Amino acid sequence: MDSINRVLLDRIQRSFPLSARPYDVLSEGLGIDGEEVRRRIHALKERNLLRQISAIFNTGALGYRSSLVAMSVPEGEVERAGSVVNLYPGVSHNYLRPGNYNMWFTIAVPPGQSLEKTVEELAERAGGWPTLILPALKKYKLAVVLDVLEEGEAGEESSGAPVVEALAPFQPTEDNVRVVRCIQEDLPLVDNPFEVWANSLGITEADLLKLISQWVSYGFIRRFAAVLNHRQVGFSANGMVVWSCPPERLDGCGKVLSSHAEVSHCYCRPSYPEWPYNLYAMVHARREEECHSIAEKLGDAIGLKDYRILFSTREFKKIRLKLFWS
């Protein structure tokens, strides 16, 4: 990638302009026009560096319940268990990681459906293996912004701002659900992309842009932004670092971890006798050695040296979660 592409990726993964002609806005200061920005984004998608540009929703604010789940699956049963888990449409990520609890997946269930019952049924169909439900009890950071810039290239400042939850209840009216289903898809790669969406919804472009902005301010949408393909842009080492943290120190440690740019996600989750870890941080690096160095630095910063790093050894499923799929 050249410097313009790197700066462009840095900008759009933080925030995509909610404007009638967003590519013109993105071109400012880059020495190119909006048409060239659009051409470059198309090329980045063709190279699989850029997954999609869309609304990134706060699923909890829309009435969904979600959780990380760990399952202990015997080696010979991994294929079958993974296939069963992947069939559920609310499972967006499913990885194999080393250890007794080796299958890790994220699941979201729609309003009115029991998370615990759904996981129990999935585990039973997968073979009846021991399962830990690990919902986020507190979210300290949720912002996957990969540092694609090189030294000397000007990008946006990283934000360690706390996660803001919804300021009002989401109303799942027929019209609102139609909008969610639309704007969770990849933004059309045309000069006036929001106009295309608005026309499909039977509303004006101005009204759609206003609604998206309102939903961002209310906390229904966490960001309207691009999602990059981690591995394709060079971040092939993604480690989940876990600590057993004294309860009274969780908030302080979570705040410190969230201030580090290498951390994309940071949560407090429940612990179990067989799994005593309650503080989680996802780190992204180009090599596993870098992840180990980052984890050591993070441990020093919070004064907790006893940690584990879980690297994904296999990817069973990785998709964008589709809300209101039925």
Give the active site residues: 93
140 contacts 162 by C-beta, under 8 angstroms: yes
In the numeric block, which tokens belong to residue 231?
């591995």
In the numeric block, which tokens belong to residue 124?
């039973």
Handedness of CA 114, 134, 291, 247 (dihedral sign): positive
Q: Residue 118's CB: how many other CB atoms inside 10 A?
A: 20
Phi then psi for 137, rounded to 5 degrees?
-75, -30
In the numeric block, which tokens belong to residue 84?
């069963």
Distance CA 307, CA 284 (A): 17
E strands within 247-323?
A: 263-268, 279-285, 307-311, 314-318
In Å, how far are 14, 207, 264 from 147, measured between CA atoms?
11, 34, 11
Distance CA 26, CA 22 (A): 6
Q: Which long-range contacts (CB under 8 A, 24 or more apart) does 206-209 make?
A: 208/179, 209/18, 209/19, 209/20
